[in-house]
Amino acid sequence: MIYNGDIIDGVPVITKLDVSHLERGKIYRFMFKSVEMNIGQSWYVPVMVAVGKMPGKRLLLNTGIHGDELNGIKVIQDIFSTLDPNQLAGVVIGTLQASPNSLMHTSRYWYMTTDGSDYADMNRLFPGKVTGNTAERHAYKLWNDLWHENVDMVIDLHTQSTDTVYSFFMYADLSIPEVKSMALQFPADHIYDDKDASGTVEGTFDSVGIPAITLELGSPRIFEPEYIARAIEGIYNLMLDKQMITDYKGRKATDFGTIIGNKLSSIRAEVGGYAEVLVKIGASVKIGEEIAIQKNPFGDLIKRYEAPNEGVVVSIGTGATREAGGLLVRLLSK
């Protein structure tokens, strides 16, 4: 545990977290000091740590890797507002604004100003690089100085990005028994059996034997009470399953009728123009069914899109304007 003596807004600053050094039965707040900006000031990540009276599992709740994805922040805030450390076995770590640069820009990306500017997707960079660019170094610090040695299981909270929307969707490698057990604690709409999560928070933890799942909670830039409440249900179900708490009853995947698939098909715009998505989240579609169209500025039809396979709609593009490559519809199937 390394404090550097600084205080920001009344909160102590740390450069390294070690939960084994924290007194039991308390909730702590820290500002984690990370890399420096181009003007020599540092980026800081708000962290909350609930240390239970009794020993037990250590759970990481992370959000803010992408700066336009906000539902997870409210999930963690609400979890910590109801946690009683005197009734808790183990540790819960809440990382808010994990990518503060991205939050500041309300963007999926971490922006850099070096050499005329560049940007990076933080959720493709883990476990980071000690001598990389600022985004890679920030990922390295999160992994090595905040997370890796302090946790036994991980939930990374996201939403879809700007101009798109998900259902309550989950990425989880169900071939890992501990991950499958975690995933089924949640009343999700859809679960994708995720086997290719290289560079993500989820995949990097899985690769070192720490089970992790990614929750995609609906829409960007807003708080959605239903998805927030269902995420909290799942988290408390998981904590009960791992004997971190003693009393809770929430809906799980089997109660909710969660659909599980192992194939994702993303239908993307092939031209630029005004898009009309013809299907809704949760709809079942058949191969060849028309799912979206595009028109030019005069309203002339320029492109039709059909489902390449049967599946259920788990994500759609909500922005009316779409360039080539922009998401229109994402299907989950088996």
Global pTM value: 0.96
CATH 2.40.50.100 in the chain, residue ranges: 262-333
Cβ-Cβ contacts under 8 Å for 107 (sequence gap 6 or more) = 66, 67, 68, 119, 162
What dihedral angle (degrees, nearest 10) is formed by the CA atoms of 167, 155, 66, 292? -20
Could you tell me the sign of the dihedral formed by the alpha carbons of 199, 92, 171, 103, in that order? negative
Record: fold of 262-333: OB fold (Dihydrolipoamide Acetyltransferase, E2P) (2.40.50)
CATH 3.40.630.10 in the chain, residue ranges: 2-260
Q: CA 334, CA 313: separation in Å to the nearest integer?
A: 13
Q: Which two tokens stand for residue 118?
A: 């560049």
Write phi, then psi, for 276 (nearest 5 degrees): -125, 110
Cβ-Cβ contacts under 8 Å for 78 (sequence gap 6 or more) = 228, 232
Please report the pLDDT score of residue 1 as a whole number: 62
Cβ-Cβ contacts under 8 Å for 215 (sequence gap 6 or more) = 72, 155, 156, 157, 158, 168, 169, 170, 186, 188, 231, 234
Query: Looking at domain 2-260, which CATH architecture does it have?
Result: 3-Layer(aba) Sandwich (3.40)
Q: CA 311, CA 307: separation in Å to the nearest integer?
A: 8
By DSSP bridging, strand 153-158 and strand 54-63 are: parallel
Collect the ranges in the chain with pLDDT lower than 70.
1, 3
